[in-house]
Amino acid sequence: MFAEERRLQIRELLLVQRSVTASELCDRLKVTSATIRRDLAALEHEGVLVRSHGGAVSRMSNTNFQPSYDTQLRTNNAEKQRIARTAEQFVLDGDTVFLEGSTTVFELARRLIHRRRLTVVTNSPPIVCELQRSAGVTVLCTGGDLRKDTFYLSGEWPQRALAEIRLDKAVLGVSAIDPEYGISTASHAEAQIKKMLTRAARTRIALADNGKFGKQSFAYVGPITDIDILVTDAETSPSYIKELRDAGLQVVVAESGQPVIKAKYRSYNSKKN
């Protein structure tokens, strides 16, 4: 496990229980106490936590935490690949589809390279770079203000573009989904893009791995009924799936038996992990 992935798991654990012991982290992450001490020291330097005797206490807000793009690429990667493989069936040749900036949606984009007569609109620089190799996919980029931590284009330009187009489908990444509260994300700018996507597309498709359920984040996007189809993985709690289906969503579960590809990813941040 990469250091960034370990530290992301420590952050997520602290969001839930606010404090943690070093021995608990050693058992959970299957690493030595020396490794945990280095991780806690690095996170303390970032202002995430305060080390205490035998552990650490969180300094984070539990609503606006968002990991870096590189960290997200490596987190739950097998689940994301299975979700993307299952979601591919909903994107048809001839469609005009928006692929939102998200690591799970990026996995879907990688599977669309050999399509024909497909038009992709996106606010994701990594998706633009991936699909520029495709002869059969027309790519339109919204432009906008680049969030360098998440490689997400937002602001006035993509909002103006979305106000003037209509789409067959929009594929959204989901940061947090709660059946009662709805869909939310850590960034207000990102929430605005998601809101406009749900109005611009005839069919709204959300991709969310099991770690996104039962959470509420800083910026509200909308009720779960703003989504038509939700694709998730087999580790998602059946109770969440039932609630969403009862609300009228088509929930599709990517089976854990599907094979995944061990892909090599370029780092999109200059900082070494």
- The string of DSSP letters for 204-216 reads EEEE--GGGBT--
CB atoms within 10 A of CB 153: 22
Q: How many angstroms separate the CA atoms of 50 and 131, rounded?
A: 43
* pLDDT of 266 over the 50 cut: no
Q: Is the pTM of this model over 0.85?
A: no
CB 120 within 8 A of CB 139: yes
* Better pLDDT: 175 or 224: 224
Q: How far apart are CA 42 and CA 39, in angstroms?
A: 5
Domains of the chain plus CATH, in order, are 3-58 (1.10.10.10), 69-254 (3.40.50.1360)
pLDDT at 12: 75
Burial of 216 (0-12, 13-18, 19+ CB in 10 A): middle
**Taking residues 115-139, what's their average pLDDT?**
96
8 Å CB contact between 253 and 241: yes
